[in-house]
């Protein structure tokens, strides 16, 4: 009976005070229940995740301790679902109010990727309002305020900078590095590389373009402009090779050269447009005789080569029957002379006058009936030096004029 009265007294006191103190006679005024202890604790109901989820109509704030699953610990009901009280701060990206991780995609920032529908894949977005219209694009990276803001379904875009590629919607394979880079590009722009603040902003509907510039300069003013689809690279400025102060540096002209002009250097680092100097055609000559030539006895006679068969530079004069050099260099001079007769004969190659004083080379032969004398020499000639062929005969003879019989040939070899 004593215990019954004690319980009644406790209930009455509790009702009167609207507070409960356990192991204390002065519960804290701010607490409905104040448990005081120095060697024990409060044991909250413990249950499995399945048991927790089976609680019918849980009250907001209901607290339990989950004993299994991936989130062992305290859970409370927030009115619509159970929330986990992590041991420390946020344990996963999804625990953050401005973070999302799904489908191998990561989004961090205020209102980052709010429209994704779950079908996007492998995107990374960091910054306020990044990917604000993205629904299902994949393999995109954007870091910066409002980066790729209007992108919806484009793939493989990379932006590093505030407002970069902001208006591109369905374009793909764009790279932008710099603030406001490519910000004004058309919805479908693709395949562009833009480096520098505001690079490419002066060109709206672009495809497969390169801009390297720290302004919105267009194709004719940007420091570097390129067209990947046309294999074009344009330098709108001075192109230097090596450091300007080093020997071997060159400053190229910025204007177009005229037709046929070539770039030449003064050896001091300056390059100019100049008229191209053509490489002269090497001399190649073969002359024949139009008729047989009767040779006088005991006389040095010039052989009558009066027909040029090959003459690349018009170096053979058929009137004077001589080769006249038009270029400085080494020449091979050859003679094939067919002699009809009996006796001793000497064929002579002479330079700038008759032999014997101007002889370059000669060959003697004994002829019984018909014989072909063939020999050559290599000589250095200057412009206007001339070569002639002569014959000296001890006995009567005739030089045969057949093209396969007698020939006078000159070749410039260097």
Report pLDDT for 124: 94
Note whether residue 275 is domain-resident: no
Structure confidence by residue, pLDDT tens digits, 19-58: 888 988 888 888 888 899 999 999 999 999 999 999 999 9
Contact predicate 154/136, CB 8 Å: no
Report pLDDT for 245: 42
Averaged pLDDT for residues 68-90:
85
Report pLDDT for 277: 75
Residues paired with residue 138 on neighbouring β-strands, in sequence order: 121
Residues paired with residue 210 on neighbouring β-strands, in sequence order: 193, 226
Note whether residue 273 is domain-resident: no
CA angle 185, 189, 192 (to 5 degrees): 90
- Residue 30 CA to residue 13 CA, distance in Å, equals 18
Averaged pLDDT for residues 312-320:
94
Do 52 and 31 lie in one domain? The reply is no
Report pLDDT for 388: 97
Report pLDDT for 279: 77
Among 7-16, 183-192, 195-204, 280-289, the range scoring the smallest mean pLDDT is 7-16
- At 100, list the tokens: 């999302």
Note whether residue 50 is domain-resident: yes
For 241, residues 6+ apart whose C-beta sits below 8 A from its C-beta are: 248, 249, 250
Do 129 and 55 lie in one domain? The reply is no
Q: How many domains does the chain have?
A: 4
Structure confidence by residue, pLDDT tens digits, 375-398: 999 999 999 999 999 999 999 999
Do 360 and 293 lie in one domain? The reply is yes
Helix (H, G, I), strand (E, B) or coil at 350: strand
For 330, residues 6+ apart whose C-beta sits below 8 A from its C-beta are: 378, 379, 380, 381, 412, 413, 414
Note whether residue 276 is domain-resident: no
pLDDT tier at 414, thresholds 50, 70, 90: confident
Report pLDDT for 17: 53
Helix (H), strand (E) at residue 389: strand 386-393
Do 389 and 294 lie in one domain? The reply is yes
Note whether residue 293 is domain-resident: yes
Note whether residue 91 is domain-resident: no
Report pLDDT for 246: 43
Do 343 and 372 lie in one domain? The reply is yes
Residue-wise burial string across 241-271, b where 16 or more C-beta atoms lie within 10 A, e elsewhere = eeeeeeeeebeeeeeeeeeeeeeeeeeebee
Residues paired with residue 369 on neighbouring β-strands, in sequence order: none
Q: Counting Cβ atoms within 10 Å, is residue 21 exposed (0-12), middle (13-18) or buried (19+)? A: middle
Note whether residue 250 is domain-resident: no
Phi, psi of 43 (to 5 degrees): -105, 110
Residues paired with residue 260 on neighbouring β-strands, in sequence order: none
Note whether residue 135 is domain-resident: yes
Whether 233 shows a pLDDT value over 80: the answer reads yes
Whether 234 shows a pLDDT value over 50: the answer reads yes
Which among 237, 257, 292 is the end of a domain?
A: 237
Report pLDDT for 264: 84
Do 371 and 289 lie in one domain? The reply is yes
- Residue 414 CA to residue 330 CA, distance in Å, equals 5
Do 213 and 126 lie in one domain? The reply is yes
- What share of the chain in percent tops pLDDT 70? 89
CA angle 177, 181, 184 (to 5 degrees): 150
Structure confidence by residue, pLDDT tens digits, 291-311: 999 998 999 999 999 999 999
Do 146 and 183 lie in one domain? The reply is yes
Do 31 and 59 lie in one domain? The reply is no
pLDDT tier at 119, thresholds 50, 70, 90: confident
- Domain holding 370: CATH number? 2.60.120.40
- Residue 215 CA to residue 205 CA, distance in Å, equals 17
User: What average pLDDT is seen over the chain?
Assistant: 88
- Residue 128 CA to residue 162 CA, distance in Å, equals 10
User: Higher-confidence residue: 3 or 111?
Assistant: 111
Report pLDDT for 92: 59
Whether 402 shows a pLDDT value over 80: the answer reads no
pLDDT tier at 283, thresholds 50, 70, 90: very high
Residue 31's domain comprises: 2-35
Whether 243 shows a pLDDT value over 80: the answer reads no
Among 23-32, 174-183, 244-253, the range scoring the smallest mean pLDDT is 244-253
Do 310 and 401 lie in one domain? The reply is yes
- Residue 140 CA to residue 12 CA, distance in Å, equals 68
Q: Quick count: other Cβ atoms within 10 Å of Cβ 335?
A: 25
Which of these, 335, 338, 366, lies nearest to 350 by C-alpha position?
Answer: 335
Report pLDDT for 241: 63
Which among 59, 84, 109 is the end of a domain?
A: 84
Helix (H, G, I), strand (E, B) or coil at 387: strand
Structure confidence by residue, pLDDT tens digits, 125-177: 999 999 999 998 999 999 999 999 999 999 999 999 999 999 999 999 999 99
- Residue 229 CA to residue 412 CA, distance in Å, equals 47
Do 383 and 310 lie in one domain? The reply is yes
Whether 6 shows a pLDDT value over 80: the answer reads no
For 78, residues 6+ apart whose C-beta sits below 8 A from its C-beta are: 60
pLDDT tier at 91, thresholds 50, 70, 90: low
Do 231 and 115 lie in one domain? The reply is yes
Sign of CA pseudo-dihedral 86, 89, 92, 94: positive
Report pLDDT for 100: 86
In terms of average pLDDT, the best of 111-125, 190-204, 228-242, 398-412 is 190-204
Which among 177, 205, 237 is the end of a domain?
A: 237
Which of these, 200, 168, 167, lies nearest to 181 by C-alpha position?
Answer: 200
């Amino acid at each position: 009976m004593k215990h019954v009265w004690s319980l009644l007294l406790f209930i009455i006191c509790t009702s009167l005070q609207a507070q409960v103190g356990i192991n204390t006679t002065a519960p804290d005024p701010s607490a409905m229940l104040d448990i005081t202890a120095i060697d024990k604790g409060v044991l909250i109901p413990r249950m499995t995740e399945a048991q927790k989820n089976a609680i019918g109509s849980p009250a907001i704030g209901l607290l339990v301790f989950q004993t299994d699953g991936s989130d062992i610990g305290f859970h409370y009901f927030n009115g619509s679902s159970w929330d986990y009280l992590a041991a420390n701060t946020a344990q996963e990206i999804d625990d953050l109010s401005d973070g999302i991780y799904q489908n191998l995609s990561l989004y961090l920032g205020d209102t980052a990727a709010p429209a994704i529908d779950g079908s996007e894949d492998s995107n990374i977005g960091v910054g306020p309002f990044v990917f604000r219209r993205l629904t299902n694009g994949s393999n995109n990276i954007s870091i910066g305020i409002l980066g790729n803001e209007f992108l919806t379904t484009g793939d493989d875009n990379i932006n590093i900078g505030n407002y970069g590629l902001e208006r591109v919607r369905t374009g793909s394979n764009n790279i932008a590095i710099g603030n406001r880079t490519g910000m004004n590009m058309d919805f479908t722009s693709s395949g562009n590389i833009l480096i520098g603040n505001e690079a490419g902003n002066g060109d709206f509907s672009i495809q497969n373009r390169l801009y390297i510039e720290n302004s919105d300069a267009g194709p004719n003013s940007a420091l570097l402009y390129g067209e990947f689809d046309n294999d074009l690279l344009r330098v709108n400025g001075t192109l230097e090779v090596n450091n300007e102060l080093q020997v071997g540096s060159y400053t190229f002209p910025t204007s177009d050269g005229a037709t046929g002009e070539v770039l030449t250097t003064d050896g001091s680092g300056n390059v100019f447009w100049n008229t191209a100097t053509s490489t002269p055609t090497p001399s190649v000559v073969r002359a024949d005789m139009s008729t047989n030539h009767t040779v006088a006895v005991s006389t040095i006679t010039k052989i009558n080569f009066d027909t040029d068969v090959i003459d690349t530079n018009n170096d053979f004069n058929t009137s004077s029957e001589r080769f006249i050099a038009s270029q400085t260099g080494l020449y091979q001079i050859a003679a094939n002379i067919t002699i009809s007769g009996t006796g001793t004969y000497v064929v002579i190659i002479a330079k700038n006058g008759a032999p014997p004083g101007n002889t370059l080379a000669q060959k003697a032969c004994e002829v019984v009936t018909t014989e072909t004398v063939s020999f050559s020499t290599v000589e250095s000639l200057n412009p206007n030096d001339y070569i002639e062929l002569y014959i000296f005969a001890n006995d009567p003879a005739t030089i045969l004029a057949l093209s396969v019989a007698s020939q006078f040939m000159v070749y410039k070899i260097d």
